[in-house]
Structure 1
Amino acid sequence: MLKKILCYLLVLSTSMIEAQVIINELDSDNPSTDDKEFIELKSATPNFSLNGYVLVFFNGTGSLADKSYYTISLNGLTTDVNGLILIGNNLVSPVPERIFTNSTIQNGPDGVGLYLGSTSDFPANTTATTVNLIDALVHSNNNTQVPSLQALLGVSTQVNENANGSGTTQSIQRKSDGSWEVKAPTPGVNNDGSGFIYNGVTIMANTNHKNEGDSFTITFTTDSVVSSDLVFSFSLNNGGFTTADYTGNTSVIIPAGSNSFATTISLIDDALDEGDEVLKIKFGNLPSGYNRRNDNIEIRVVDNDFTTLPFGTPLNPTYGNVTSTAPAGYYDSLEGLSGTALKQALQNIIANPSVVRAHNYGDVTDILKVADQNPLNSNQVWLMYVETPRAKLDFQTTSSNVGSWNREHIYPQSRGGFANATDDIPDGINVWLPTNADDIATGHGDAHHIRAEDGPENTSRSNRDYGLTGYNGPTGNQGSWKGDVARAVFYMAVRYNALSVVNGDIPDTTVGQLGDLASLLTWNHTDPRDDFEMNRNNYIYTWQYNRNPFIDYPALADYIWGANAGQAWHASLSTQDNATIRLVIYPNPANERFTVFGINDEASLALFNTLGVKVFEQKFVGETTFEPNVASGIYMVKITQDNQSFTQKILIR
């Protein structure tokens, strides 16, 4: 009898809880980067605790149809005086009580369920169910129906957010009779406009980048004048940015009869190289009756205490300042070999299973912050294709890549067959796995072919081949990266048995092959290895315990695929040894003519354009001034003397 009573009370209690809270509004599709997504819940009584509730989002189509893709715990949240609570992106106004990243909610057709339970009850790819379900909504931005998901969630209708042809400007809202309608979003207020209206507080500040030593003003404004003094505090702390980095008043008093307050913050110019930081203007607790119209306002603080490196950028390269750190005898096994035997011996070195270490994709981010550091500013990385620096702090962490840098696979993931093959959570230099030439998954996190790159440009390159009919970089680029990608592709084609580099532009869907070999061989000569590239080769070696041999010896490519294929290799035959010829080319940039100083015996000078076409050639002895009569642009000067060569970029105006 006691058991029956307890069961009855449990059912009664659950029924009462189920009636307490529902899904009230959903905006899953809004302009551009989906940065104003939200879901709003409404309780039957105000100030209702949501402890023990969880939101679960489900796929409606595809291979994971009817499976969960995201969960949000509601523990610690309480509805407001209107019974409402917002969960959404930071840019939603008023600011949600729980924030999730932009583009989290899929546009549909998909579904969302409100459950009693916890996130642990719904691991990724959990099938939709009505067990412990409180409320559910199946939604989309088109008319595609997903009856299977509707049945699993126990709902009979599917709501189209674009039902009015409004595109991304409206949301799905529950009416008082329980049905749904689509109209302009009403986050934070009752859908019918009734109820208590909060006095919203807005943060206003100039969010342009600030330098250490700068001062700026923060103004707080209420929607309407306050009837009594409004007192609250705010903070600027965010990660490494603390109270030691600024001075100023962080207490706010908006006096009765007014609606604004301003305070000045001064950034401290210290002598520490902390790197660029981001301060975050964030509200403290607001009194009852007020809410936040915005929050978490970020401002970049640029550190002026950066350091530099003793070599140039790829756009203004230097040669001979950085030397290889390859151990003595590292390449000795190559001597005298040719053809297939030479290529195999090279692979035996760089894929040696008893030596080489494999790291994951997360580690690559940390590697690139050092390997691709801008030589002119230690707080930046150098972006390869767009030939410009960007703050290390701007690494892409959301679905939007605009203004961010990310990791570019020179041998594309889809073409290499190693897409998403390793973990994106770094585990450090001391955690690694053994690897070998057949371990293609290692290519996903092999830093020798991964570079820091502008997000949109990385997307633009996609998985295309390189070369005249493939990818040649953004409009106006000076080709400072072309030799780098050639040598990276050559490395991959030797390091992994499953990969190769071939002539011609082949379909982008081809797995295991990348082109165009002829273009890459030309690029290897016209954009020679520089100090920047040698430095990254040295650093990656400290992680992976292997090197890119085509950086140490660029001429190896010719002996495996190019003009010297089939000939015996000897390290002494390697060209482009810039350290062996000491000369100066000046001025650079040049106005029509330039001078070469430092050659005492007969030599020849050749000038190549960015396509690798020779446009000028002349023999000379001693200090000589050249007037090649070519169009303005970037050229490669190649000087050859006694089987040694020196190559340098020059800008002719």
Structure 2
Amino acid sequence: MKRFLIVLVLFVFHNTWSQVLIINELDPDTPSTDTAEFIELKSQTPNFPTDGYILVFFNGSSSGADSSYMVIDLDGYQTDNNGLLVIGSEGVYPFPQLLISENVIQNGADAVGIYQASVSDFPEGTLATQTNLIDAIVYGTNDADDTVLMSLLGETVQYNDNGTSSTQRSIQRFVDGMGVESYSTATPTPRRENDGSGTAINPIQISVAETQYDEGTSFDITFTSETNVTSDLNFTISLNNFGFNTSDFTGNTSLTILSGTNSTSTTITLTDDSDDEGDEVIKIKFLDLVEPIVPGNNFVEVRAVDNDFTVAAWGTPTNPTTGIVQSTQPNGYYDSLDGLSDLALRQALQDIIADPNVVRAQTYADVIDILMEADQNPANSNQVWLVYTEEGRPKLDLQTGSSNTGKWNREHTFPRSRGGFDNIEEDDIADGIDVFWTTKADSLRHGNSDAHALRAVDAVENSTRSNQHYGEYIGPVGTLGSFRGDVARSVLYMEIRYNGLEVVNGFPTATGQLGDLATLLDWHRNDPPDDFEMNRNNVVYNWQFNRNPFIDQPDLVEYIWGNNVGDVWDQPLSVDEIGLEELSLHPNPSKGRIYFEGSDIKSIEVYSVEGKQLRQFNSVENFVDLDLASGLYLIKLNNSNGFITRKIIIE
């Protein structure tokens, strides 16, 4: 009997390690914000390369249909001295060897499996399978058993993560003295054996007093190990991140924690240069730690605030200016509207702004780049201007994770749920201004990424507005309402641009309709277009090759929805140009010297096409030398009658 028992125990122990790689620990649901989710793999032997293996995550919900929702390629990684490999988000301590975004591991009932396969074998929505499966675990957070998912993966138990809103737990694998494998929940132990055995690691923590510092200031970075080191520990760090590099700071990046101690620090001084490079993110990271010394945290971000931001020649929406930024519409852009009224006017306008031979649609990810330019704060080029809350916000504070406090994101003035448009997978790719979709009036889905109707917004306020109609939603208490005309013109644009959308009176429930028209007309009349809005119209035009006509020609609103419905439209001559038509300049293109003819010119202002003032001449004869690089510029000619703006090309 004893001999039989020994044989049985050996069989169980051998069967436990029939796989070269197993799931050793899983924490799919960390308290509150899911910032420390992870999965830990274990190999039979330490320092095991995981090339050729993948992790596949399966969605056990009714909508997920027990199919894959995420795949992680393990090529290029290996387990550590204890045979452990942790895949997790930045909040995991000690720091994971393979970093993933926070809040991406679903709570359950779900599953994860190790496969000896290629990522391409599991496109999103692939049904769970045992083919090439190495190990799997089906889990939940107090969910009913997903028996179908268990069957598909050949599992008989669904394990429960018993964490609460205040107590973190993980599902952990244990092997008892007889070699019997079991799983239970306990306090998480990433990068450490669940039973406390194995080689002890000594994590080092990076700490900084503040999260941002101005150019020219100094700050300390402190490094603290969990336990005293037993010999001098030499290591190096890097602060480089995209444009931020060694030219942007001074300070020691080669450091030593002396034997018998557990900390050291370095002082970093940010270079105060004159370059307008925008705010930058310093990323503090270890370069050469060797086990058992491991990062406790890593990639710690600190913002370097640039003090060389530029201020535009025009004002913010709360301090508006007009007449500085001129429309960049092509000559004759709206000429086809003249002499038309009512439905014919509507159709002719749509033919311009939805022309499939001209107009382009960009991805929803591209909209971020568009808004960083179109909604740039005129008072600080390092910020975007937020609709509704009427304030600047650093461009770097774009929301990228689950936390939205102090962040900005993209607001659909015509809510997606009411418009009936949403993301597709390709929308997640920012492929730049020169890659685009062909689009037309029936391309309603492209309303999802139409930058004329998207604005930078405080992320919390975006949630507050939700999909409310305007009139139900009037903005935060205490603001000036400087956004009201802007959002009115943006949603009125959407009605003309896309078939299937309509702005109506009241608060409708039908998909495709948005209210309240009467409110929006009132907003349009009381908050006319300003330079900020004209500039963003110009910027969006550069990307989409169409314009919001109600910014260029605000009176059109009355002819389509307001007091002049049924009247014949005739494009007015700009008030600024009356009495100035005789002004001219030549040559154009030019090598740099520009001659003028016509009325006496009092002053000249030269702007980039983005609206940044580059030159000003307050005393003008019959020519000026611009001394500018080759490109397209705007010249504003001022005389006693007013001003006129002309485009000029410098060769």
Shorter-normalised TM range: 0.7 to 0.9
Residue 469 of structure 2 aligns with an amino acid whose one-letter code is D
- Residue 442 of structure 1, CA deviation: 2.2
- Residue 172 of structure 1, CA deviation: 1.1
1:448 aligns with 2:447: no
- Aligned partner of 2:276 in structure 1 is 273
SS at match of 1:346: helix
1:352 aligns with 2:364: no
- Counterparts of 2:131 and 2:18 in 1: how far apart (Å)? 12
Q: How does 1:178-189 map to 2 (within 5 A)?
A: 178-189=181-192
SS at match of 1:179: strand
Of 461, 465, 469, 2:469 maps to 465
- Counterparts of 2:401 and 2:322 in 1: how far apart (Å)? 38
- Residue 413 of structure 1, CA deviation: 1.8
Does the 8 A contact of 1:18 with 1:134 survive in 2? no
- Residue 426 of structure 1, CA deviation: 2.5
Of 474, 477, 497, 1:475 maps to 477
Does the 8 A contact of 1:325 with 1:538 survive in 2? yes
- Residue 17 of structure 1, CA deviation: 7.6
- Aligned partner of 2:248 in structure 1 is 245
- Aligned partner of 1:648 in structure 2 is none
1:426 aligns with 2:425: no
SS at match of 2:495: helix
- Aligned partner of 2:267 in structure 1 is 264
Of 435, 441, 450, 1:437 maps to 441
- Counterparts of 1:411 and 1:527 in 2: how far apart (Å)? 19
SS at match of 1:485: helix
- Residue 97 of structure 1, CA deviation: 0.5
- Aligned partner of 1:174 in structure 2 is 173
Residue 124 of structure 1 aligns with an amino acid whose one-letter code is E
- Aligned partner of 1:490 in structure 2 is 492
- Counterparts of 2:51 and 2:465 in 1: how far apart (Å)? 47
Counting aligned pairs with the same residue, the percent is 56
Residue 100 of structure 1 aligns with an amino acid whose one-letter code is I
Residue 195 of structure 1 aligns with an amino acid whose one-letter code is G
Q: Can you give the 5+ residue segments of structure 2 that lack an aligned partner in the other structure?
A: 1-13, 579-651
- Aligned partner of 2:30 in structure 1 is 30
- Aligned partner of 2:404 in structure 1 is 401
Q: Evaluate the alpha carbon distance shift between residue 428 and residue 73 of structure 1 in structure 2; reply closer, same or farther with a 3 A threshold.
A: closer
Q: Evaluate the alpha carbon distance shift between residue 344 and residue 188 of structure 1 in structure 2; reply closer, same or farther with a 3 A threshold.
A: same
- Residue 488 of structure 1, CA deviation: 0.5
Does the 8 A contact of 1:320 with 1:579 survive in 2? no
Residue 456 of structure 2 aligns with an amino acid whose one-letter code is A
- Aligned partner of 1:230 in structure 2 is 233
- Counterparts of 1:210 and 1:62 in 2: how far apart (Å)? 48
Of 362, 366, 383, 2:365 maps to 362
SS at match of 1:34: coil
- Residue 466 of structure 1, CA deviation: 0.8
Q: Evaluate the alpha carbon distance shift between residue 286 and residue 428 of structure 1 in structure 2; reply closer, same or farther with a 3 A threshold.
A: closer
- Residue 547 of structure 1, CA deviation: 1.2
- Counterparts of 1:49 and 1:434 in 2: how far apart (Å)? 46
1:371 aligns with 2:377: no
TM-score (norm 1): 0.82
- Aligned partner of 1:628 in structure 2 is none
The farther-off stretch of 371-380 and 392-401 is 392-401
Q: Can you give the 5+ residue segments of structure 1 that lack an aligned partner in the other structure?
A: 1-13, 581-653
- Counterparts of 1:356 and 1:35 in 2: how far apart (Å)? 42
- Residue 51 of structure 1, CA deviation: 2.6
Q: Evaluate the alpha carbon distance shift between residue 307 and residue 328 of structure 1 in structure 2; reply closer, same or farther with a 3 A threshold.
A: same
What is the aligned residue count? 561
Residue 268 of structure 1 aligns with an amino acid whose one-letter code is T
- Aligned partner of 1:641 in structure 2 is none
- Counterparts of 2:439 and 2:224 in 1: how far apart (Å)? 59
SS at match of 2:33: helix
- Counterparts of 1:404 and 1:18 in 2: how far apart (Å)? 48
SS at match of 2:36: coil
1:158 aligns with 2:182: no
TM-score (norm 2): 0.82
SS at match of 2:365: helix
The farther-off stretch of 252-261 and 353-362 is 353-362
Q: Evaluate the alpha carbon distance shift between residue 147 and residue 304 of structure 1 in structure 2; reply closer, same or farther with a 3 A threshold.
A: same
Cα deviations by residue, 1:342-396 (Å, 9 ceiling, x for unpaired): 2222212222233322222232222211111111111211111211111222223
Does the 8 A contact of 2:237 with 2:284 survive in 1? yes
Does the 8 A contact of 2:24 with 2:40 survive in 1? yes
Does the 8 A contact of 2:19 with 2:135 survive in 1? no
- Counterparts of 1:383 and 1:424 in 2: how far apart (Å)? 23
Q: Evaluate the alpha carbon distance shift between residue 128 and residue 333 of structure 1 in structure 2; reply closer, same or farther with a 3 A threshold.
A: same
Does the 8 A contact of 1:221 with 1:259 survive in 2? yes
Residue 26 of structure 2 aligns with an amino acid whose one-letter code is L
Q: Evaluate the alpha carbon distance shift between residue 430 and residue 402 of structure 1 in structure 2; reply closer, same or farther with a 3 A threshold.
A: same
Q: How does 1:66-105 map to 2 (within 5 A)?
A: 66-105=66-105
The farther-off stretch of 476-485 and 329-338 is 329-338
Does the 8 A contact of 1:319 with 1:579 survive in 2? no
- Aligned partner of 1:626 in structure 2 is none
Does the 8 A contact of 1:114 with 1:135 survive in 2? yes
The farther-off stretch of 512-521 and 345-354 is 345-354
- Counterparts of 2:260 and 2:435 in 1: how far apart (Å)? 62
Residue 498 of structure 1 aligns with an amino acid whose one-letter code is G
Q: Evaluate the alpha carbon distance shift between residue 223 and residue 354 of structure 1 in structure 2; reply closer, same or farther with a 3 A threshold.
A: closer
Residue 388 of structure 2 aligns with an amino acid whose one-letter code is Y
Does the 8 A contact of 1:319 with 1:578 survive in 2? no
- Aligned partner of 1:634 in structure 2 is none
Cα deviations by residue, 1:31-59 (Å, 9 ceiling, x for unpaired): 23211001112223333332322211111
- Residue 498 of structure 1, CA deviation: 1.1
- Residue 278 of structure 1, CA deviation: 0.4
- Residue 484 of structure 1, CA deviation: 0.4
Residue 568 of structure 1 aligns with an amino acid whose one-letter code is V
- Aligned partner of 1:598 in structure 2 is none
Of 309, 313, 338, 1:306 maps to 309
- Residue 573 of structure 1, CA deviation: 9.9
SS at match of 1:557: helix
